[in-house]
Amino acid sequence: MKKLRCHSCGIELPKGSLKYILEIRSFADFDGYLEEYDGDIEEGINDLLDAMESTDPKAIEDDVSKEQIFILCKSCRDKFINDPFQSGKAEVDGDEVKGTIH
Ligand SMILES: [Zn+2]
């Protein structure tokens, strides 16, 4: 069996050791604002459809929503939870930044 390693620091995580699963789900937010479209809307939609046809459906899907799973050791998990992007900033209030989250 392949040995498990922490995705962050690379430390080996032997069977039975304490490890954490980190699931990240990122998805495109929509704040209800649409930029005014300059030009023929029908033409614009056709251009968009053409562009989508020549793009890998998986890439479009990834643009909208993506889920990733990582395995972390306790120390990396604690570090991540306290400051996910190592920015030194406090987390934002989700209700303030989310647009039309259902
Ligand atoms: Zn680690």
Ligand 1 centre from 15 Cα, in Å? 15
User: How much distance in Å is there from the Cα of 59 to the middle of ligand 1?
Assistant: 30
In a domain, 82, yes or no: yes
Give mean pLDDT, residues 84-91: 79
In a domain, 24, yes or no: yes
In a domain, 15, yes or no: yes
Cα–Cα dist 4/97, whole Å: 36
CA distance 11 to 4: 9
Residue 10 domain flag: yes
Q: For residue 76, what are the domain limits?
A: 1-30+67-87
10 torsion bin: left (phi>0), alpha (psi -120 to 50), beta (else): left
In a domain, 5, yes or no: yes
- Residue 53's φ and ψ, nearest 5 degrees, are -65, -35
54-82 confidence digits (pLDDT tens) = 989 899 888 899 999 999 999 999 999 99
| Tally of domains in the chain | 1
Q: How far is the CA of 83 from the centre of ligand 1 (A)?
A: 15
Q: Is the pTM of this model over 0.75?
A: no
Residue 35 falls within a domain, yes or no? no
